[in-house]
Amino acid sequence: MPSFRMFMLAMLFFTGGMQMQIVAQGWLVYHISGSGLALGIVTSMWSVSAIVFSPIGGVVADRMERRRLLILTWGAAAAIFAVLTILIMADLIQVWHLALGAFLHGALFSFNIPARFAFLAQLVGNSHLMSATALISVIFNFTGAISPLIGGGLIDLLGPSAAYLIVALLYLLTAGVTILLPPSETRNTASRPGVLPELIAGIRYILKDFSLRWLWVLGLVTVVLGQPYFILLPGFAAATLGLPAFGLGLLFSTVAVGALVGNLMVASLQGTTRLWQCMLLLGAASGVSLMWLALTQSLYPALAALFILGVSGLPFFTLNQTEVQLRTAPEMRGRVLSLFTLTWAAMPLGAIPVSSAADKVGFSIPILFCGGAILAIMVVAAWLCRSMLGLTPQHRKPSNLSAGA
């Protein structure tokens, strides 16, 4: 499928830039401030803007031509990182600049994420959706294994401005490749209700479906409790392990290598696989690996824990998103996916308290608590959602619940 291969090339550039940006931003914030709380605040600004803009972004993704929306948002992201590059080169960069950049980045991707997932589903169709989603995740993990090392190396050799410049160029390349894709189907918006009624329709659609409600809850739990460790890795690398920027890149890369292995396994799953069982097992395994990471004080045990966390944690989201799209009618996907993006917007609920606690009591105790809580919640979900455990993709049909859409 030529269009899908072109889309994968765009994702290669995009995820490469995003993975490098994570390392560069974390390194820069920590070396400007020396504070875990500052790391949590800057990273959380992405989520704050997502809370504001994600519901609107989903409605726009269901109304606007999706390829055009992707080109606009990726092009604007390139401009943001170009400005940050100039500030770094001029030695004017401050934490608040990075926080504002994260806020604007989050606003753009509140529109980009639902459009991207809905465009992918339209590009490949439901029959290939699980494999396509897993392959995109494989690209994400592949670049995650390489880009952090490149980013860390660039910072050590040339400074953070070099890494930020490459991020801006990669986003620009992503927009350029997307221009070559065929446009998505056009929508007649003249007869459609306003933005607010369509947003309310999306909320009702989720609330009326048992599986979508629980998928949202599980996604929320794994973001709020499972992502703070990622924010604190720069401090953990510097203060506990004594690593340079390249060593921080190695930690991020190890997670990505594990996720690459996990998502390759997900991509090979058959239509008879019980996806809910796999998803909950992966969620439980991510909780256990977080607890392991919390108890490590040296490099090699930390790498082992991060690898297992990658194998279990990110493939969990692949299965979660696949289930959401299989359960959602095509005309509702933009809105439903944007409301699921709000689970990522809730990250400050875990990031701020955990990063603040880490400044006071260290990395181990708050991360140990997060891992234990995830494990317990997955066990409870397995009991309450036991009617879903035997279902396979062959049983999935989009919900036709009336939502007023």
Residue 86 lies in a domain: yes
As a whole number, the mean pLDDT across the chain is 82
Residue 401 lies in a domain: no
pLDDT tens column, 175-202: 999 998 888 765 555 555 556 677 677 7
The first and second tokens of residue 260, run together, are 């690459």
What range defines the domain where residue 47 resides? 2-181+195-395
Residue 288: the pLDDT is 94
On the CB side of 13, how many CA atoms lie within 13 Å of its CA? 21
155 found inside a domain: yes
Closest to 294 measured CA to CA, from 372, 353, 217: 372
- Is the predicted pLDDT of residue 40 greater than 80, yes or no? no
Take residue 132 and report the two structure tokens written for it: 């396509």
If one counts the domains in the chain, the total is 1
- pLDDT for 192: 57
36-53 mean pLDDT: 80
211 and 323 in contact (C-beta within 8 Å)?
A: yes
Which one has a higher pLDDT value, 284 or 256? 284
Over pLDDT 90: what percentage of the chain?
25
Does the residue 190 lie in any domain? Answer: no
Q: Given this model, what pLDDT does residue 404 score? A: 42
Predicted model pTM: 0.66
- 234 part of a folded domain: yes
Interval 146-158: pLDDT, tens: 888 888 889 889 9
The first and second tokens of residue 247, run together, are 């060593």
CATH of the domain at 99: 1.20.1250.20
User: Is a pLDDT exceeding 80 seen at residue 171?
Assistant: yes
Number of residues written out for the chain: 405
DSSP summary character for residue 363? S
pLDDT single digits (tens) 237-264: 887 888 887 888 888 889 888 988 887 8
Q: Is 358 a domain residue?
A: yes
User: In angstroms, how far is CA 82 from the centroid of its own chain?
Assistant: 22
Amino acid letter at 227?
Q
Burial of 42 (0-12, 13-18, 19+ CB in 10 A): buried
Q: Is residue 403 domain-resident? A: no
What distance in Å separates the CA atoms of residue 262 and residue 134, rounded to the nearest whole number? 9
Tell me if 346 sits within 8 A of 223, measured CB to CB. yes
Q: Where are the alpha helices (DSSP H) in 268-327?
A: 275-294, 299-327
* Residue 161 is assigned to a structural domain of this protein: yes
- In this structure, is the dihedral angle defined by the CA atoms of residues 104, 333, 394 and 214, taken in order, positive or negative? positive
pLDDT in tens, 87-119: 999 999 999 999 999 999 988 988 888 888 778
355/14: higher pLDDT: 14
